[in-house]
A and B are shown apart, each in its own frame.
Chain A
Amino acid sequence: MSQHDRTHHAKIATGKGDPQCFKGTAGPAKFKVGQTVRIKDLPDVFYTRCQVYTRGAVGQVAVVTHESPAPEDEAWGHVDHSEWFYIVRFKQKDLWPEYPAAFANDTLQTEFSERWLEAV
């Protein structure tokens, strides 16, 4: 019989919500809005929510969103370590080399946990 507590998440999230239940657990945020960052190309085992199309790309932090365990940990039930999350804005032409020059203003935003970002 597994000793894993399957009601753990319900206990911490009821009445507070998730990610609010992890508020105050990640320490100071490493990056700030407007900062230029590069997405690391880390290996991922079994599970990640960092899209391959963003690996190595450079963008700007648009929003510092919330604190939460990273999905790569949470997928295994490890929720003791939280990280800050960031919505990063990219120019589409920096993600897709063939993106039409006529639409050079177009952008894309997506979110990363802190481990995926490095200052440029």
Chain B
Amino acid sequence: MVEEVSDFEALEIAVRELAIEKGLFTAEDHRRFTEFAEHIGPTPAARMVAKAWLDPEYKKQCLTDAIKASLAVGVDWLNPTGFGTPSDYTDLRVLEDTPTLHHVVVCTLCSCYPRPILGFQPEWYRTPNYRRRLVRWPRPVLAEFGLQLPPEVEIRVEDSNQKCRFIVMPVRPAGTEGWTEDQLTEIVTRDCLIGVALPRPGMTTNIPLPVHKPAKPGHH
């Protein structure tokens, strides 16, 4: 959170108030949408991956029509809030990892992210630091997240720069044999779905990143 109102926040408030005055939407619409947007998290996407690990037919649907497959985990991309327009572009693609291929998602141009199924972006995903460096130096950036992969594993960066939205479907880890969908859902963290971590038994939260204060604070 920022401590004072930034230029962008002032701009958002101005545009919102003008839109309400103009009758494009009501203050109540805005409140309901904000409430909806702040309540979605990564759980539906995690459940999608867990279901796909357990059900090959469902997995096929995730890879061919992820918008339709989202319905099985309670996310309707076309009408996510029950009113108004879709809250994002509606072309979701699931990137399937294999033992020799690992995907990681970034949006170099802004911070495009499959919000209806994954909630809001983590702050680091929006930073120019992550966006600029991941496309060019993916391995050192992933190492900062604690993820180091051998050269035999192809790292494929997906720069989400248009209307497609992406989640990563990691390989089901060893040690999860016989697990239920609920148990599997718990280890597919938000970071696993972006591709900066791999799921593993016992790991159910994202690793907190160390935040260093800049020596020379700038603006972006």
Contact = CB atoms under 8 A, between A and B. Distances in A.
A9 B159 contact: no
B147 to A, nearest CB: 14
Interface in B72-86: 77-79, 84-86
Contacts of B22: 6
B164 interface: yes
Interface in A1-58: 6-7, 9-10, 13-20, 49, 51, 53
B93 to A, nearest CB: 8
B91 A19 contact: yes
B91 A66 contact: yes
A10 B163 contact: no
Contacts of A49: 109, 161-162
A13 B162 contact: no
B138 A106 contact: yes
A103 B139 contact: yes
Contacts of B121: none
Interface in B86-104: 86, 89-91, 93
Given A15-B79, A18-B89, A110 B159 contact: yes
Interface string B97-140: 00000000000110000000000000000000000000110110
Contacts of A17: 67, 77-78, 86, 89-91
A29 B152 CA distance: 35
Contacts of A53: 108, 135-136
B157 interface: yes
Contact of A19 (B89, B155, B156): B89
A120 interface: no
Contacts of B152: 105
Given A10-B84, A13-B85, A51-B161, A105 B90 contact: no
A96 B137 CA distance: 9
B159 A18 contact: no
A109 B156 CA distance: 7
B151 interface: yes
A55 to B, nearest CB: 13
A96 B132 CA distance: 13
B162 A51 contact: no
A68 interface: yes
A63 B64 CA distance: 12
Interface in A51-101: 51, 53, 63, 65-66, 68, 71, 85, 87, 89, 92, 95-96, 99-100
Given A17-B89, A68-B162, A111-B164, 13 more contacts: A19-B90, A51-B109, A63-B93, A65-B163, A66-B163, A71-B162, A102-B151, A103-B139, A105-B154, A106-B156, A111-B159, A111-B160, A113-B162
